[in-house]
Structure 1
Amino acid sequence: MHAEIVVVGTELLLGQIIDTNGAYLAQQLASIGIDLYYKSTVGDNRGRMIETLKRAVDRSDIIITTGGIGPTLDDLTRETVADVLGVELELHPNLLEQIKGMMGSRYTENNARQAHIPAGALPLENPVGTAPGYFAPTPRGGVGVSLPGVPGELRYLVEHTVIPHLTDRFQIEAMIVSRTLKCLGLSESYIDEQLDDLIKSSNNPTIGLLAQMQLGEIHVRLTAKAANANAANELIDPLEQQVRSRLGKAVFGTDEVEYEQAVADLLKQHHCTIAVAESGLSGGVGHQLSNALAGDPHFAAAVTAHLPAALEHLLGVPEALINQYGTVSSEVAVAMARGVRQRNGTDLGLAITGAERLNDSDETGAFIALAHGDSAVTESEYRRVSSMRFARQRIGRASLQLVYEHFVQ
């Protein structure tokens, strides 16, 4: 039993909107154990839609289309599905009455097109919109499901009607569960090498790697198929332990956990307070930590100072030090870290000072320092030729990593 998604809309191919429906549908199908083999995007062109749908009907048990069931002439999904299945469109009076009731005085005759569905199809009433869908039987004993492209309507119908219908229709008694281990500080190639034998030998559960380059993270996805969530998690648990034992402290969290939250949790666990100082291109670390520790006493302050006078006034960085080494230097970063820690009476002081085109080069760079104890400081440096947005994200991660590794040895 496998599924295919066909996303309809020229606006998607032009990049005018982003398809969020496909990812959502994939997650929903996995939740009931249906494997998704293919996903296609096709524009509002009758010939190409027929070609795409014919291929889908021939090779897949469940075909879900999104979009193209509105009232306008370029909404062609109903007609093309009927053509592919070799049937006519039929008017369903009850659907028409629902559409008229939903539209009220805004109803026009072209809305009646939405009440026509392929002959033999089961209507899928839409109580939250004007575009009803349908379940159409396919020659290989499967089903085609047509849904509106509006995300709110699609999600309502999927959760309230489509998933229950598919579960009952195909007597589905399995589900797919995925768990993502998030890693920072290791390359994708290194992780692949460390997990090579597990990746090759694992069948259920399986292992997949995904590089999140902007964040500098590598995600290790563990996926199992079982009768229920508990059984799937029991399959995943021992594999997770093996992965963690090989990757060590680089694994900072699972699934929805973000890196700043992992750092915030460590500060709480160790009963440590922190203050942050930033200058120039810094990555917005103070903002990230303040959000993760909103209203929490473990976060004391975030100080932003760009001018030498502000660095001296707010953080006690000597003007002579700035004149000698420059604002963007390891020496100034260390002085900032010590200054923000001392002036706020915290256990830790984190400082970042960075700039684009460091020393007239093509590199974006930053110096990072973490003050801990009376005089101890841990330093780090970021240098890379990259866009401003990419650099900010990576500098932010490198800064938080210094705090993370202070606690996780």
Structure 2
Amino acid sequence: MDLLTAQYLLTEPGRLLLAEAGALLAAKAEPVVALTRLRKTAAPEIAAAAWEMAASRRKGARKFGESAEAMYFVGEALEQASSAGAAAYHAARFVEAGVTALTDLCGGVGGDAIAFARAGLQVTVVERDPARALFAAENARALNLETKITVHCADAAEFSVTTEAVWFDPARRVDKRRVVAPEDYSPPLSLVNDLRDLGVAHIGIKLAPGIDHDVAAQMDAGLEFLSDEGECKESLFWTGRLRAPEPVRATVLTPHAIHALAGTPDEDTDYIPPASSDEGGYFYEPDPAVIRAHLVRTLAHDLNAAPVDPQIAYLIAPELISTPFATAYEIVERFPYHFKTLQKALNARGVGRVVVKKRGVPHEPEAVIKQLKLKGTEEMTVVLTRMGDKQIAILCRRVQEEKRL
């Protein structure tokens, strides 16, 4: 969004236009009809921006709750913004480390800055895009946080940091194309080394969850993977007092708690023999953050479990142990996988609906479900995987939360 459009949306006519766009969206008006209506009082590009902002506010509610209705967003910045739970967790890490003020480099429209300010931190936001910087300042004002948040429209690579701590969330899209190499980020990840050379000791870095563990090691940073709503949303690097003593951590956010599993990556821990062909009464599917953190063996120890195969992140255990780090299923039956055998087993149990999961085998869940001819009222989960060179099927039922120990 260009700066002139952003500035107009902050004027009284712009706010009225946004209110009208929001009402049209709530009434489920077709986009063509809504834009035609909005163009009666605004130029086409302004009307389009208002409609997009109304849609962004609705999407933003998933990350910012009721606050989204008063906030201003830019589409790409909203996509990269942390969820409210994740942002609150970031803030808590700084507070626990004794930080009182930080600089939020590449601050976007202020998503993390809002959480930092609400946690009591004094925040300096640096954002080079003029429209995003304008919206960051307006969002702080709209949420009564303007005394806690100061916004500078500047290039993070050139900004003179004066705080002892930094939050760094570089852009991982360039020209709308996702980039993978850390030095292709904007600014590049090496900016962190420049900051440390200048004496900034306590740095938190938010990156994509697919980052290689070696990158954190090369930067001498603690590594963490954060899961929210069952999805590994981000990887985090921590330096200085923010760094945990363990090499890596998997953190799972739930609606009422934060759960952390810390330890040594699987490749540096003792080997765990795979489960035997007749072992176990419960099947565990580790949370994606546990898998990305390479802490499956650590989890296996905690659950008294064994992997179905050394190369596959599925676990089998003789007993049910409640854990936030995996989804538990009660095993009903297990057998060598052949499609006809699976079909027969499901029909014998009156299964009419299935969820199919797979790892380590070439079968696609959607194709298997499409082939199955099911009759019945029961629902079951089918896990297709392998033990050594043998493909197996596990029929199981998910353990409901209230049944967990």
Give the structure-1-normalised TM-score: 0.30
* Bigger fraction of residues in helix: 1
Q: Which has the larger radius of gyration?
A: 1
Give the structure-2-normalised TM-score: 0.30
Give the number of the structure with larger relative contact order, counting CA–CA contacts within 8 Å between residues 6 or more apart: 1
